[in-house]
Structure 1
């Protein structure tokens, strides 16, 4: 509801090998180019190099447009959905999932974002942690939905909910996604049809990161 990401589909998983050979082979296979030693840090590809590569993409062929979309998604992962504390790189482990453009929509990206955020919050609760990473925009907007006295007033009903904030009102909302709260928002059917899964108690998977979606512990 917040970001419009599917919570149903194929688990986002695969190899997380930090060996740079896998990184180079995958980039050569999909883009015909290999990042130099200066363009990656271990298993993380530098976002600056990806931005340069994206600007140089030729969009006059279907293959060129597909490569452009893949790079755009890697940048989206590295700057928003799965960003790390450096904000400079994205792990190459996501790249094999983008081999077939038509299959990208089949993955459960929503549950993966939650797993990544839950793991990040777990790490950041430690006394020796000094920085925060993860999908903090999701956490912020979730708090606005639950604690609207902290939030900008919704300017107009829209989907995803992250697009419709602009002042202040007071109360705590226990069930912000009930029909009476979203009746004026046109939610795509491919999101709405999974509403019974929103409160499911299930493991959330993001490669080596597995966290429980323990909704029964935080709902009335």
Structure 2
């Protein structure tokens, strides 16, 4: 039942992606003003089609960046610990509430990550208020915009760590340069989406 609701929101594919570990020496070849990587063979970049193929996210719907400012600002607890109590998944509304929490987790842990790796920004909560509209947003384009912004920050001389959807960077590089890719943990048909599932929970190689 939960999978059916994730399908309805457009987040089913990305919810199947596990932890992907890697490294990003590509930053040395980054041209930040164009968000492209200058390689010996050509100048390349991550596109919307890459996001759709790697993460399985919708890219042709309503832009989700501007919609983030709509709605009432969520109340943030001043307590050191805040919890959301989930009821048993025995009603349609309880399942929807669970799916919203799952999507919120994916937004903070996979698509729009920051360097904290432990928090998800409350600004995404209004996007999940209307369950019937979640699937109408172009999450892929928002993810790509966040990725480009992270590349710009990572290119600065005083930046020590990169945030953003690193899974997107790793899988994009591994697909185009198999010589640096870890051995896929899962064998998938060529057209299977999301492609990132091939390296879910993979270990880094020394290739």
Interval of TM-score (by shorter of Structure 1 and Structure 2): 0.5 to 0.7
The 8 Å contact of residues 111 and 143 in structure 2, kept in 1 or not, is answered as: yes
Once residues 60 and 100 of structure 2 are traced to their aligned partners in structure 1, the CA distance between those partners, rounded to angstroms, is 21
| Residue 161 of structure 1: how far off its partner (Å) | 0.9
Separation in 2, partners of 1:110, 1:129:
26
1:2 alignment partner, SS class: helix
- Map of 2:78 onto structure 1: 37
Deviating above 6 A after TM superposition, structure 1's stretches of 4 or more consecutive aligned residues are none
Which residue pairs with 1:141 in the alignment?
171
1:123 partnered with 2:176: no
Contact persistence 2:110–2:165 (CA under 8 A)? yes
Separation (CA, whole Å) in 2 of partners of 1:16 and 1:103: 15
1:105-124 aligned at under 5 Å gives the runs 105-124=135-154
Query: Aligned residue for 1:9?
Result: 61
SS at match of 1:59: coil
User: Which protein is bigger by CA-based radius of gyration?
Assistant: 1
Inter-partner Cα distance in structure 2 for 1:64 and 1:101: 12
Structure 2 counterparts to residues 30-179 of structure 1, below 5 A: 35-38=76-79, 49=82, 52-53=83-84, 56-153=86-183, 155-157=187-189, 158-165=192-199
Per the alignment, residue 11 of structure 2 pairs with none
Residue by residue, what CA displacement relative to the aligned partner does 1:54-99 show, whole Å, maximum 9, x if unpaired? 6x33322222221111111111111111111111222222111111
Higher relative contact order (CA 8 A, sep 6+): 2
Q: What are structure 1's unaligned runs of at least 5 residues?
A: 25-34, 40-47, 171-220
2:56 is paired with a residue of what secondary structure? coil
Cα distance in 2 for partners of 1:69, 1:63 equals: 10
In the alignment, what sits opposite 1:206?
Answer: none
Give the paired residue count.
Answer: 145
The TM-score normalised by the length of structure 1 is: 0.58
Query: In 2, distance between residues paired with 1:111 and 1:15?
Result: 14
Alignment check: 8 A CA contact 1:14 1:93 kept: no
2:170, 2:74 → 1: CA distance? Answer: 33
Name the TM-score, length of structure 2 as normaliser: 0.62
